[in-house]
């Protein structure tokens, strides 16, 4: 769920120049703190770029040129507005939040008049100062991606920074809290629709078509928003959640049984802090979960104004060691049936390396070490609950078989953190989409496991409503590593995107293994490890292109 790897400093330089000539009408401060209310209106215009200027900015760097190859040349210019609005935190406490409104401009017919909105949710970011509206910061790679992919192609873009970031004084981020994050998406959409007629780009208006998308954490947020809006009978034209952790209970179970994903040491404190604020019962003290090495201050550590590299370098978090390399021993009460056998089985499953790892790669052995993040006894308490209240997407430790019925624990967990994951698992409630939906990701993702998230939600929906996946059904699924659903490439609507991703990965491998100075001179194993580490980020622009293709087709383009 990490952030993108594109570094587009040239765009920042162009936007700094553009800002110098930018101006905004006098804004009026709003006294109301009601949800979805703009703090100031009209919003401040950070910058205005014509299509040629945007293209020139991207072309000035190698990474920008790579992005152009994927997104295509800008058709429209883009005005970048900074929205400030009111929402609530995970405990329903009012907070000001912020985000971006990107409005297409220019003479082309698709750049003004009534245009569709793409609402985008960003991936996990540890930078508390994140402002996706401000492309003058070279670190704002996701902002550059969505500007090039959507706004410069004629879509109005709305994207929140999330509560806990930028101007928000919340003090924490409600990470993967389905109710809060979907609610904030709805709040900023309300604010953006209020702001749009009063911007300097008022010739561009909302045509009522709404597309939801996002990557990684944002894929989860996009799907949660689609679910919330459908429940509230608010129209969604289509959605494209990408590489999101949709099946949180199953994902958590895999992690605690040893399938340590890349980034787990960052995601864990974000999650426990989020759910502690929402439910108040995740821990009495942080030492209940975390080892003494890391427990102090971990509940206020993320997001942070210091970089994640600083946090690792100063041993505020371990780089990869989520668990103790020493195997915890499970001892079940003798009164339980087969307690001795199940105790031995669970002890074996919690060992390192665990046979539950998915996907199997030497990188996941890095999830165990010393010092480590999560206490053994806490890990055991989670595992016992997972063995008792089985998620059908994970084989039952006692039988090796999946649970009967739909793949979600039939009985709510009793371990409080696992219960929080259950509550926020997007399978909860038996929801299926009523609007066209594209699920996109990569099968080999070591950060957000495709089989335990995209495949699980696909199977869950198919069990409830098989017609969703019939020819012409509402749901399409794209794995950028393979033809969609096994369809021959000649009939695969995403064949070119799949081929481009796979060719890009192959070319990177050749560059990494080529001798210096032309290449990095790495061994094949080292090159493959680097590709694996960067895989989650590498999938993002290709899935985003697929999302745009999906939306354009729905619009009749």
What are 498-543's pLDDT values in tens digits? 999 999 999 999 999 999 999 999 999 999 989 999 999 999 999 9
**Whether 208 contacts 238, CB under 8 Å:** no
For 314, residues 6+ apart whose C-beta sits below 8 A from its C-beta are none
To the nearest 10 degrees (0 to 180), the angle between helices 62-71 and 524-554 is 40
Please identify, among 395, 424, 453, the residue that sits at the C-terminal boundary of a domain: 424
Render the burial of 22-32: b for 16+ CB within 10 Å, e for the rest: beeeeeeebee
Tokens 């050749």 appear where? 510
Regarding whether 320 and 203 lie in a shared domain, the answer is no
Instruction: Estimate to the nearest angstrom the gap between the alpha carbon of 343 and the chain centroid.
Output: 36
Model confidence pLDDT, tens digit, residues 208-252: 999 999 999 999 999 999 999 999 999 999 999 999 999 999 999
Please identify, among 230, 256, 279, the residue that sits at the C-terminal boundary of a domain: 230
Residue 175 CB coordination number (10 Å): 27
Q: How far apart are the C-alpha atoms of 553 and 374, rounded to whole Å?
A: 46
For 473, residues 6+ apart whose C-beta sits below 8 A from its C-beta are 467
Regarding whether 269 and 196 lie in a shared domain, the answer is no
DSSP state of 265: H
Which uninterrupted H or E stretch holds 517? none
Look at residues 413, 444, 443, 439 and name the one whose alpha carbon lies nearest to residue 428: 413
Tokens of 495: 């064949």
Tokens of 352: 């390192």
Which uninterrupted H or E stretch holds 271? helix 264-279
Residue 357 CB coordination number (10 Å): 21
Q: How far apart are the C-alpha atoms of 380 and 106, rounded to whole Å?
A: 59
User: Quick check: 387 pLDDT over 90?
Assistant: no
Tokens of 43: 């919003």
For 109, residues 6+ apart whose C-beta sits below 8 A from its C-beta are none
DSSP state of 304: B
**Whether 207 contacts 164, CB under 8 Å:** no
For 225, residues 6+ apart whose C-beta sits below 8 A from its C-beta are 119, 121, 181, 182, 185, 186, 212, 239
Regarding whether 241 and 211 lie in a shared domain, the answer is no
Model confidence pLDDT, tens digit, residues 102-152: 999 999 999 999 999 999 999 999 999 999 999 888 889 999 999 999 999
Regarding whether 278 and 198 lie in a shared domain, the answer is no
Model confidence pLDDT, tens digit, residues 24-79: 567 777 789 999 999 999 999 999 999 999 999 999 988 899 999 999 999 999 99
Tell me if residue 420 falls in helix, strand or coil: helix
Q: How far apart are the C-alpha atoms of 419 and 404, rounded to whole Å?
A: 20
CATH number at residue 69: 3.40.50.1820
Regarding whether 381 and 279 lie in a shared domain, the answer is yes
14-18, 93-97, 455-459: which range is least confident on average? 14-18
**Whether 241 contacts 223, CB under 8 Å:** yes
User: Quick check: 267 pLDDT over 80?
Assistant: yes
Strands (E), 248-387: 323-324, 368-369
Strands (E), 263-350: 323-324
**Whether 206 contacts 114, CB under 8 Å:** yes
Regarding whether 275 and 184 lie in a shared domain, the answer is no
Residue 485 CB coordination number (10 Å): 12
Question: Up-side HSE of residue 334: CA atoms within 13 Å toward CB?
Answer: 0
For 449, residues 6+ apart whose C-beta sits below 8 A from its C-beta are 251, 254, 259, 261, 358, 359
Q: How confident is the model at residue 401 (pLDDT cuts 50, 70, 90)?
A: low
Regarding whether 282 and 397 lie in a shared domain, the answer is yes
Max Cα–Cα distance, the chain, nearest Å: 77
Regarding whether 82 and 6 lie in a shared domain, the answer is yes
For 112, residues 6+ apart whose C-beta sits below 8 A from its C-beta are 104, 105, 106, 203, 204
Instruction: Estimate to the nearest angstrom the gap between the alpha carbon of 391 and the chain centroid.
Output: 23
Q: Average pLDDT, whole number, for the chain?
A: 91
Tell me if residue 14 falls in helix, strand or coil: helix
DSSP state of 166: T
Task: Give the range of the structural domain holding residue 277, as residue numbers without chain letter.
Answer: 248-424
Please identify, among 363, 394, 424, the residue that sits at the C-terminal boundary of a domain: 424
Read off the pLDDT of each residue in 363-392 and give the average, rounded to a whole number: 91
Tell me if residue 413 falls in helix, strand or coil: coil
Regarding whether 381 and 434 lie in a shared domain, the answer is no
User: Quick check: 22 pLDDT over 60?
Assistant: no
Number of domains in the chain: 3
Regarding whether 359 and 226 lie in a shared domain, the answer is no
Regarding whether 109 and 20 lie in a shared domain, the answer is yes
For 295, residues 6+ apart whose C-beta sits below 8 A from its C-beta are 285, 286, 287, 289
Regarding whether 278 and 349 lie in a shared domain, the answer is yes
pLDDT of residue 21: 45
Q: How far apart are the C-alpha atoms of 531 and 269, rounded to whole Å?
A: 26
């Amino acid at each position: 769920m990490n952030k993108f790897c594109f570094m587009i400093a040239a765009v920042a330089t162009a936007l700094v120049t553009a800002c110098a000539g930018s101006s905004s009408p006098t804004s009026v401060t709003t006294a109301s703190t009601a949800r979805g209310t703009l703090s100031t209106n009209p919003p401040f215009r950070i910058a205005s770029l014509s299509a040629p200027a945007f293209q020139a900015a991207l072309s000035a760097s190698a990474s920008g040129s790579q992005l152009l190859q994927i997104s295509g040349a800008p058709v429209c210019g883009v005005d970048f507005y900074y929205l400030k609005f009111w929402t609530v935190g995970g405990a329903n406490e009012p907070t000001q939040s912020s985000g971006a409104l990107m409005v297409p401009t220019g003479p082309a017919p698709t750049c003004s008049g009534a245009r569709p909105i793409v609402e985008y949710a960003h991936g996990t970011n540890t930078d508390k100062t994140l402002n996706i509206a401000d492309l003058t910061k070279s670190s704002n790679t996701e902002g550059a991606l969505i500007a090039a992919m959507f706004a410069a192609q004629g879509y109005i873009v709305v994207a929140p920074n999330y509560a806990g970031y930028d101007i928000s004084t919340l003090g924490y981020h409600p990470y993967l809290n389905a109710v809060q994050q979907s609610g904030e998406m709805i709040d900023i959409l309300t604010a953006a629709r209020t702001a749009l007629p009063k911007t300097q780009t008022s010739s561009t208006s909302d045509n009522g078509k709404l597309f939801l998308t996002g990557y990684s954490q944002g894929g989860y947020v996009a799907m949660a928003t689609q679910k919330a809006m459908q429940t509230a009978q608010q129209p969604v034209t289509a959605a494209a959640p990408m590489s999101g952790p949709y099946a949180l209970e199953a994902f958590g179970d895999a992690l605690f049984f040893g399938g340590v994903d890349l980034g787990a040491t960052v995601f864990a404190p974000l999650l426990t802090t989020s759910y502690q604020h929402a439910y108040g019962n995740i821990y009495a003290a942080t030492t209940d979960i975390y080892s003494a090495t890391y427990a102090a201050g971990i509940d206020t550590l993320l997001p942070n104004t210091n970089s994640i590299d600083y946090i690792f370098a100063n041993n505020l978090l371990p780089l990869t060691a989520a668990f103790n390399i020493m195997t915890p021993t499970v001892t079940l009460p003798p009164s339980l049936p087969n307690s001795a056998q199940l105790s031995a089985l669970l002890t074996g499953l919690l060992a390192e390396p665990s046979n539950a790892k998915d996907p199997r790669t030497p990188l996941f052995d890095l999830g165990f070490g010393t010092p480590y993040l999560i206490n053994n006894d806490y890990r055991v308490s989670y595992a016992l609950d997972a063995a008792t209240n089985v998620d059908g997407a994970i084989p039952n430790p006692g039988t090796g078989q999946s649970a009967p019925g739909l793949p979600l624990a039939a009985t709510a967990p009793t371990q409080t953190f696992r219960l929080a994951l259950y509550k926020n698992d997007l399978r909860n409630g038996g929801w299926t989409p009523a609007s066209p939906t594209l699920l996109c990701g990569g099968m080999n993702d070591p950060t957000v496991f495709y089989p335990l998230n995209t495949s699980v939600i696909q199977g869950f929906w198919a069990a409830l409503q098989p017609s969703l996946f019939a020819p012409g059904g509402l749901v399409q699924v794209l794995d950028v590593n393979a033809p969609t659903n096994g369809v021959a490439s000649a009939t695969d609507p995403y064949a070119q995107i799949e081929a481009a991703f796979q060719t890009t990965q192959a070319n990177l491998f050749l560059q990494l293994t080529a001798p210096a100075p032309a290449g990095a001179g790495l061994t094949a194993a080292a090159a493959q490890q680097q590709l694996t580490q960067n895989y989650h980020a590498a999938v993002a622009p290709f899935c985003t292109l697929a999302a745009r293709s999906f939306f354009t087709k729905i619009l009749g383009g």
